[in-house]
Chain A
């Protein structure tokens, strides 16, 4: 009943205010028409300059850069290669990503399996459960240099087997919590940025 009377009151209000509302809409319609005309001529001018009216704004580009940086920092690390889940645990010690008892395979020295920074997983590991992404085939990867950059191109766990980490300086930018999640038979390591114990 109350809602009925509320609707009645609103109806009376709208009827009384209708001329003013219509005048407001008409003014806005004329204003919009001028905006559209202005945008049309701007579009024509931009067209002849080789640009588009709907190009990204500077602010959009900056926002995309920031989001891309965040996404790269949070990029999940590749799962381990050996099917034995128990052997797939990576044991980080503070900021040192030198794993222990990990990636145990018939070839116990992972570095022997790395030829010119190219992984050929099928040659080196049995029970392959992981298809190596293409970017692991890339060479010229300098772990130290990349760890000092905010954007990382390759997962760090794999990097640990390319070169032993001699000191912690290369991980100065790398204060992140490492969480180990087990999914089915493979282990996926997700690195989450930002949270520091001191905060």
Chain B
């Protein structure tokens, strides 16, 4: 009986509801496609970042100084750690400079409780000591809603709480927040490169030092086929 009721309610959809459902499906499909494309971009970037190991290890490998898998991994890991440290110096220095600015701001203002992120000068938008003074803020807590298939969804734009305005009291957050966000994003890119290099080390160690008979054909080798593995060594 419940299933019949649900079926009847589906059949009873109005044209507007059907349009909304189709639009939502298209939006979700496009969203997934966009996420897939971004993921492909990230994978491509990581492959490029992993190539740094090739550059670092090339001379050592081609001259035969490193001749086994374990030694290769050990030296490559050492070089990767050094490279990580070299790359991570800049975002860490930026973070330290940002923290220094914040410290100077707290000392100058004397207000150690200031919310440097979210203080937009409620309730009238005047003053404010946070970075939120530069952002559009909407009242999502009290926005109008409606029910669709038992799910509560927003039905209209919420009220605007704050529009961007400049506040002299928030000068510390204007310096600290952009610097710290830059530093965090930069650091995560460096970590991504480190992960990419780790994967590349594992792949290269197997590729260079593992013996494989995948492409070996004994008949061709005996007949002197130029494409056989034996002739290529």
Contacts and interface: CB of A to CB of B under 8 A. Distances in A.
B65 A11 contact: no
Contacts of B38: 14
Interface stretch (A2-10, A82-90, A115-123, A150-158): A2-10
A interface majority secondary structure: helix
B81 interface: yes
Interface stretch (A60-68, A105-113, A171-179): A60-68
Contacts of A10: 35-36, 39-40
Contact of B63 (A15, A40, A54, A66): A66
Nearest to A30: B191
Contacts of B65: 59, 62-63, 66
B84 A35 contact: yes
Contact of B81 (A14, A25, A39): A39
Contacts of B31: 11
A39 B82 contact: yes
B49 to A, nearest CB: 13
A8 B36 contact: yes
Contact of A59 (B40, B66, B81, B82): B66
B187 interface: yes
Contacts of A28: 191, 194-195
A45 interface: no
A173 B37 CA distance: 59
Contacts of A57: 75, 78-79
Closest 6 CB pairs of A and B: A11-B36, A11-B32, A10-B36, A7-B36, A11-B35, A39-B85
Interface of A: 4, 6-15, 25, 28-29, 32, 35-36, 39-40, 43, 53-54, 57, 59-60, 62-64, 66-67
Given A10-B35, A32-B191, A67-B63, 17 more contacts: A4-B33, A7-B40, A11-B32, A29-B191, A32-B194, A35-B81, A36-B85, A36-B88, A39-B81, A57-B79, A59-B60, A59-B66, A59-B75, A62-B60, A62-B63, A63-B65, A67-B59
30 contacts: A6-B36, A7-B32, A7-B37, A7-B40, A8-B29, A10-B39, A11-B31, A11-B37, A13-B36, A14-B38, A25-B195, A28-B191, A28-B195, A29-B191, A32-B88, A35-B84, A36-B84, A36-B85, A40-B85, A53-B82, A54-B82, A54-B86, A57-B79, A59-B65, A59-B66, A63-B63, A63-B65, A64-B59, A66-B65, A67-B63
